[in-house]
A and B are shown apart, each in its own frame.
Chain A
Amino acid sequence: MHLLENPFGLVNIARPIYLNRLAFLFVRTRAITRLAFVGSLVCWFVLVSSDILVVFSDIKGLTPEVPPWLPRVMLDLYIFCLFYYYKFRIEREEALNFTDLLWKVFATGLITTVVSLALRLLVGLLGNTKLPENVLFGDFIYQVNLALLISFMMAAFMAWKRLILYQKSKWLIRLWTFFEFLLVFVLIYDSINLALSDTANLLLDIVLGLVILVLSANMKWVAYLNFRQKWTSLLLLLLVMFYIGYFTFTADRLSDVIATKSPAFFAFNSHLFNIALIGFVSLYSVFSFLVILFNLPTSSVFEQKLEEVVNFQRISQSIQTEQNEESVYKILLESSVSAVFADAAWLEIESNSHQHQFYTYQLTKEEAQAIRDHLAAKNIKGVLDQNVDKTKNLSRHLASMKGARYRSLEAFPITVKGETIGTLALLKELPDGFNKEMKRIVAAFANQAGISIENFRLMEEAFQNERYKEELKIAKAVQKSLLPERLERDAQFDVVAFSESADEVGGDYYDTLRVNDHTVVLIIADVSGKGTTAAFHMSQMKGIFHSLSQQPDIDPKRFMMQANQALVYCLERGSFITASYFVIDTQARTIQYARAGHCPLLYFKAAEQTANYCQDKGTALGMVRSRDYEKFIHTYTFPYHPGDMLVLFTDGITEAKNTKGEEFGYDRLKAAVEKLSSENLKNMQQQLLQQLYEYTGSDEINDDYTTMIVKFK
């Protein structure tokens, strides 16, 4: 209860709520609103009873049992409670828009007026009974009316505060705070009957008046009302003003009656606070009313501007809402037409990379064509002339057109990445129908549409790239799976292999196959080109290798000829495959091989401790697409000895470049093999690659590189 008696106590509750907005805000706000409401009721009740008591004692010439200041203090408390009540009901209610605010004020006014009228009716019904004559009853009626008036005023006060502070500046907030403190001061000043000099009083009045006047000049919210809202606001404000008038009149009349009978009666109109409050509320109402009234004729312009902004957003956001180019064109056409009140329009999109598109508004394609033909006949550059990058006014040329409905024509280019992709033409039946402002906004629309289209295309490209990357990933996985997991080994030789491909899918292939207990075949191949086709050819090569190698007594030359024949039909123009094919016969201890355009074979002879490239001939698969291939491929045979090595590789190894752009080359490879020949096979391969990486300066070689090394025992 003590909270109610001390309205400032409420501030202490309100603070933490303000800081803790997120938590329990709703519940606590409601609780405070109710508390303030109950508080105001209690205050009012005490106010009425004490006031009646004071008036009663005054009439009877008695000393009142309650101190004479009690009613005034109670009135102050009542005002404070109402202040907080409305602060939470109106000021903090964020969902309210302007008309809602006015509606709230109006509704409060309506309720209070209805209550007041009901009381009046009651008095009227009582007619000639003694009661209405009774001063105490009159005082009661007056108190009710006053309470309603103040309640109404406080509601309006809070609503006006929100309207004034809608577009706030630091300065404005300071002024408002000053105003509120001034009102509190005035309220206290009224209550304790502070005796100030007349000059001070006058000064106070002037300051108060000036502050109210300055505050009332803040009408920015009016600009945001649309036409309909303006009418609603006018009506609501008119009614609000009527209520104010009614209450002021009623309260004034009642207080006069009582004042004549009881000199101790403290009339509301001698209360500076009440006057200031009513004055402020009425002044702002009148100002708002007038400003809205005078703003009515220009509101369509404001609405038009607002619509332009919205259209602008539609164009620029169409990209995010999964729309397509077509919808951008349509939005552009619609927005432009509505922005300039065009009677007809067309939009033509024509660019090399995209198909021709034609959109019209209130116009047939034939009509548009007729206008274009007319302009073309007059040899006028401009409309739909793709080379024009400026907005053109072509109106004067329309005058010469027979039976033309339109008197104004304005054309705007739509550019994407500096290329004019289309033209927007707007038509009007009025002559000189496009003013500067209109041209500017449409040019901006066209610009924005161009940007949106560009974004669409960029996004499409990005999608394509993404798809391509995805495809590559699959191809890479396919390629990896084509390489053997396990290599064929033998008691007479050991074999290791390593293959790595660049970011893109490579076409390196190696494999081994045991034909019988003493014959193993090996292949190393490089498919020209990259990407999915390379992986595809590689898989074909694998199929060819596995099927042809199964034939009895396969000879490398025959293998290559048959492989060439098989590939002729699937290799596209300009594609070929290089390969080396080996048949190792462990019984005869010989190597038979054919080289089809592949990197030369590097052979290490243990007896001499030297490695040499074999001098041989052979053309890549797919280069000679006839039976003539026979002439371009040969089988070579030589024996092997323990410790000898067969070093096979692809051009990725020899063509790997260092930072200066020099290739690793054949000589370095040969030297490396000779140097590492004493190592075991696994280490040798590893160190060979290590040397390669050291040479290039990184282990990211931008090519496919493969090695396969066979060491005989």
Chain B
Amino acid sequence: MVHIKRLQEESCDILAVIGEIDASSSIELDLAIAKSVGDGYRRILVDCHALEYISSAGLGVFMSYIEEFKEKGIVMVLFGMSEKVAHTFSILGLSDLLNIVSNKEEAKQRIHELSV
């Protein structure tokens, strides 16, 4: 089960992902990101502090937006991952494709750098 909270800070849309993302709950993640894009946000932060587990389907969701974001100039930064979750990203080689930082401050800094 996953719960996704959205809040806006300084023109960034922050998605806080709480719980586990498996094959069935990955749809919610997909919908949340799509909604954020649909609402016109160009800076998306994903707060992974409370993300306990992510399956390959969940990783697939992040992966599927890489190309689209590149085309549209949207920036997405993930932050606050636990070691285990970060390991999952890195094994798949997704850490080279996504912007992953350790905390919110860094994330904001990174997003400003990237969207300039």
Contact = CB atoms under 8 A, between A and B. Distances in A.
Contact of B93 (A528, A574, A596): A596
A7 interface: no
A624 B57 contact: no
A494 to B, nearest CB: 27
B91 A623 contact: no
Contacts of A279: none
Contacts of A600: 91
Contacts of A618: 93
Contact of B57 (A526, A574, A619, A623): A574
A509 B25 CA distance: 25
Interface string B49-75: 000000011011101101100000000
B92 A619 contact: yes
B97 interface: yes
A623 B92 contact: yes
Given A619-B96, A623-B97, A632-B97, A573 B64 contact: yes
A529 interface: yes
A575 interface: yes
Contacts of B18: none
Interface string A519-532: 00000001011100
Nearest to A657: B53
Contact of A617 (B23, B56, B57, B96): B96
B57 A597 contact: no
A636 to B, nearest CB: 14
A600 B94 CA distance: 14
A620 B64 contact: no
Main secondary structure of the interface of B (DSSP, over half): helix
Contacts of B94: 597, 619-620, 623
Given A573-B64, A574-B64, A623 B56 contact: no
A651 B84 CA distance: 13
Contacts of B64: 573-574
A623 to B, nearest CB: 5
Contact of A619 (B30, B61, B93): B93
Interface string A49-89: 00000000000000000000000000000000000000000
Contact of A624 (B23, B59, B97): B97
B56 A526 contact: yes
Interface in A524-554: 526, 528-530
A597 B97 contact: no
Nearest to A626: B67
Contacts of A598: 91
A623 B66 CA distance: 9
Nearest to B88: A651
Contacts of B97: 619, 623-624, 632
Interface in A602-620: 617-620
Given A528-B56, A529-B57, A632 B93 contact: yes
14 contacts: A526-B56, A529-B23, A529-B57, A573-B64, A578-B56, A578-B92, A597-B91, A597-B93, A619-B92, A619-B93, A619-B96, A623-B97, A625-B67, A651-B56
Q: Which 6 A-B pairs have the closest CB atoms?
A: A619-B93, A574-B60, A574-B64, A597-B92, A528-B56, A573-B64
Interface of A: 526, 528-530, 573-576, 578, 596-600, 617-620, 623-625, 632, 651
